[in-house]
Amino acid sequence: MLKNNKIKSLAVGIGAGLVLSSISLAAKATTLTMSNWVPPTHFVTTDILQVWADKVDAATDGRVNVRMLPKPIGSPAQHWELVRKGVVDITWGNFTYEPDRFKVMWFAEMPFNGERAEATSVALWDTYQKYLKDNAAFAGVKVLGVGSLGPGVINHSSKDIVSLEDLSNQKVRMGGPIQKRLLEELGAVPVAAPATKAYELLEGRVLDASLHTLESVVNFRLTEQLPHHTEIPGGFYDATFFLAINERKWNKLSEEDRQAIMSVSGEVFSSLWGQEFQRQIDQAESELQAAGHSFNTPSSALLEKIAEIRERMIEDWASEGETFGVSKPLEIVEFHQNRYQELSDK
């Protein structure tokens, strides 16, 4: 009986020790808050951000976990400042929402950026790492990953856009200075509005057309409003995104945890981002084709005009490189294009 009691006491002691150990580990875990500005059911939340957060938890053996806040702290355009100031630990967002601050990223939003979202996203990460990570535009944060939207499409409410004449005087919703200049020089009338406003503007006949990826046409429920699509080889435009953590918060993490987080971030995150956006684009194209939508090939004259505008925009951007801290802008463009080609050829 005495022996059994000793065994029971030992078992209880071991169990208590394990419980205390678990409590101790839990107490030491670091929770990073994330502000997310898309709905919890959006694929960016479920298939990208949450997947990444789970990978962080696993890579750090539970020492670091990412808690997505139930509501965004601010507007989408405010999310860089929110993380820079430390209002929240982690955010994601669109560089295009602050075009002046992130003019350094314009090279990756031009026409003909690329048709495969995973390749453009990883090429962007590689370019950022090689040329841009120390640029003043990114001061105050640690960029954990970047991504591309995918090829932008000209979507019209009532007619096929094939020629330059087809675009003349058409009121087209757009976002950002690159899209604005493209439309103006092609003879269209750019209308600045967020994608979330496209539905009501099309319903009210304020717009004739709207620039979106095919994924956005479906996910913003514009299928009935925009039945005509003109796909530009390489994309009419692109947009660039970031995943970032406050720099002070990052530096407080242990070196072991920083390395673990980066093992599932950087190129890994950019690849995940691009894969999911490409999956959404491919799925949307199938849905729109099944719905009987019109898909159009631009005329050679329209393509040549877009190429001319792109060349001028690249030249103008490069000529201002010193103002946004870039000494070899054309080298960046070439590296990015070559890296995309290497990745897309795999």
The number of beta carbons lying within 10 Å of the beta carbon of residue 239 is 22
* Biggest distance spanned by C-alpha atoms of the chain: 98
Per-residue model confidence as pLDDT tens digits over 204-215: 999 999 999 999
What's the CA gap between 56 and 145, in Å, rounded?
13
- What percent of the chain stands above pLDDT 90? 90
User: What are 34's strand-pairing partners?
Assistant: 68, 90
Identify which of 111, 113, 72 has the alpha carbon closest to the alpha carbon of residue 93: 72
Residue 255 token pair: 């070196």
38: pLDDT strictly greater than 70: yes
Could you list the beta-strand ranges (E) of 228-342: 228-231, 240-246, 294-296
Higher pLDDT pick, 176 / 91: 91
Say whether 65 sits in a helix, a strand or coil.
strand
**Whether 232 contacts 154, CB under 8 Å:** yes
pLDDT at 339: 98
pLDDT in the model for residue 12: 44
- Return the pLDDT at 329: 97
What span, in angstroms and rounded, lies between the C-alpha atoms of 272 and 266? 10
Per-residue tokens: 242? 């970031």
pLDDT at 22 > cutoff 90: no
As a whole number of angstroms, the distance between CA 219 and CA 94 comes to 17
Contact assessment for residue 107 and residue 314, using Cβ atoms and an 8 Å cutoff = yes
pLDDT at position 195 is 87
Distance CA 293, CA 284 (A): 11
Query: In 3D, which of 44, 279, 285 has the Cα closest to residue 153?
Result: 285
Does the pLDDT of residue 16 top 80, yes or no? no
pLDDT at 194: 86
Lowest mean pLDDT among 9-13, 32-36, 43-47, 310-314: 9-13
Decide if pLDDT at 13 tops 50.
Answer: no
Q: What six digits make up the tokens of 163?
A: 């020629």
The pair of three-digit structure tokens given for residue 128, joined into one six-digit string: 């950022």
